[in-house]
């Protein structure tokens, strides 16, 4: 299937307004490209549920902290278009940086409270950049529903609160994490791993599975769970851990013991590659 590819905000907006005019429901999937089956799961959810689907592809400079991998981040529009070929996507919006940010830009979105924790602590300015670009992309692509992956659970909560606080007329939909057969969450950054690191990286999802097992077997004290999770990572030679936490799934404040629902989250470096993953924990 040949898609409509646009690079200007005005063109993108015109297409979306036309779809609205034709009473179509519009879904958007926002990505930084380097598309994999995780992204495609979001595309599938949107094409399944909405009459019109837009995919945005933009490596957003403002969400990378100083010294992070902005320069190195994989960019290949041709292979992204190829990955989308078999999906009934109506519009692909792939702007360049100048299209999204004027050079003198000095305004940004102050992220909500939930952005202060975890990723917000490790990556200063990250969620400010994410909130700002998502608001700007929603101006160009004013969708009814925006699809986000469970893989970046905190990002979803941050954006959900931003949309509610700024009364944006969009619904956010969370889509489950897509994993490789051994459990590793798909991520564009997995491309950075060499084969030995790729094998060790599976310990991250194993530690999350262990958390769920321990809870099911009656361990509710989070300190006991996180220390066992840490052992799993250490055994795989993953020693640079930014955080292992078990938190309230709505506020992300750390829990001392689990009463009902919780989310277990891990951020760690495998070699030089920083990976994150999480899992919602349930009592049964
Ligand atoms: P990114 O291109 O990494 O900014 O991701 C774009 C969207 O795809 C975000 O909503 C991510 O949460 C989502 N995503 C990334 N990896 C996965 C995955 N393995 N499973 C489900 N969604 C994902």
Q: Note the pLDDT tens digit of each residue in 66-93.
A: 999 999 999 999 999 999 999 999 999 9
Residue range 267-279, pLDDT digits in tens: 999 999 999 999 9
The catalytically annotated residue of 3, 15, 39, 126 is 39
Query: Which residue owns the Cα nearest ligand 1 atom 6?
Result: 31
Q: Which atom of ligand 1 is nearest to the CA of 189?
A: 3
Q: Is the pTM of this model over 0.85?
A: yes
Please tell me the predicted confidence (pLDDT) of residue 29.
99
* Average pLDDT value for residue range 156-169: 98
Instruction: Give, using CA atoms, the residue closest to atom 17 of ligand 1.
Output: 38
Residues within a 6 A CB radius of ligand 1: 31-32, 38-39, 41-42, 148-149, 151-152, 175, 177-178, 185-188
Q: Catalytic residue at 39?
A: yes
pLDDT mean over 214-220: 97
What integer pLDDT is reported at residue 1 of this predicted model? 64
| Structural contact between residues 154 and 265, judged by C-beta atoms closer than 8 angstroms | yes
Region 176-193: mean pLDDT is 98
Please determine, for residue 49, whether its predicted confidence score (pLDDT) is greater than 80.
Answer: yes
CA 104 to chain centre: 28
The residue whose CB lies within 8 Å of the most ligand 1 atoms, and thus the one to mutate among 27, 31, 80, is 31
Question: CA 213, CA 207: separation in Å to the nearest integer?
Answer: 10
Average confidence (pLDDT) over 84-105: 97
Residue 17 has a pLDDT of 98
Kindly give the residue spans of alpha helices, DSSP state H, lying in the chain.
9-21, 37-49, 77-84, 97-100, 119-122, 126-140, 153-165, 195-216, 222-235
Q: Is 15 helix (H, G, I), strand (E, B) or coil?
A: helix
Q: State the average pLDDT over residues 46-66.
A: 97
> Looking at ligand 1, which atom is closest to the CA of residue 32?
2
Mean pLDDT of the chain: 97
* pLDDT of the residue at 268: 98
Give the pLDDT score at 137.
Answer: 99
Residue among 151, 156, 174, 186 to mutate when testing ligand 1 (max atoms within 8 A of CB): 151
In the numeric block, the tokens 């692509």 are attached to 141
How far apart are the CA of 219 and the centre of ligand 1, in A? 31
């Amino acid at each position: 299937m040949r898609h409509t590819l646009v690079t200007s905000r005005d063109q993108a907006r015109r297409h979306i307004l036309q779809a609205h005019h034709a009473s179509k429901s519009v879904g958007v999937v926002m990505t930084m490209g380097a598309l994999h089956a995780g992204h495609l799961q979001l595309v599938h959810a949107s094409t399944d549920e909405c009459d019109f689907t837009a995919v945005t592809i933009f490596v957003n400079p403002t969400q990378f902290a100083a010294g992070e991998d902005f320069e190195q981040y994989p960019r290949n529009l041709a292979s992204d278009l190829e990955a989308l070929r078999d999906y009934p996507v109506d519009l692909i919006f792939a702007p360049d940086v100048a299209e999204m940010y004027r050079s003198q830009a000095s305004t940004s979105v102050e992220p909500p409270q939930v952005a202060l924790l975890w990723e917000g602590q490790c990556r200063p300015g990250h969620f400010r950049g994410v909130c700002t670009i998502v608001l700007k992309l929603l101006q160009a692509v004013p969708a009814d529903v925006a699809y986000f992956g469970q893989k970046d659970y905190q990002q979803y909560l941050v954006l959900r609160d931003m949309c509610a606080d700024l009364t944006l007329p969009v619904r956010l939909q969370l889509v489950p994490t897509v994993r490789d057969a051994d459990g590793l969450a798909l991520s564009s950054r997995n491309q950075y791993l060499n084969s030995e690191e790729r094998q060790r990286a599976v310990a991250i999802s194993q530690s999350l599975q262990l958390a769920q097992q321990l809870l099911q077997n009656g361990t509710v004290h989070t300190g006991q769970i996180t220390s066992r999770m840490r052992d799993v990572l250490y055994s795989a030679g993953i020693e640079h851990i930014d955080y292992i936490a078990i938190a309230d799934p709505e506020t992300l404040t750390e829990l001392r013991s689990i009463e009902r629902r919780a989310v277990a989250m891990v951020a760690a470096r495998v070699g030089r590659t920083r990976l994150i993953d999480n899992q919602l924990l349930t009592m049964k």
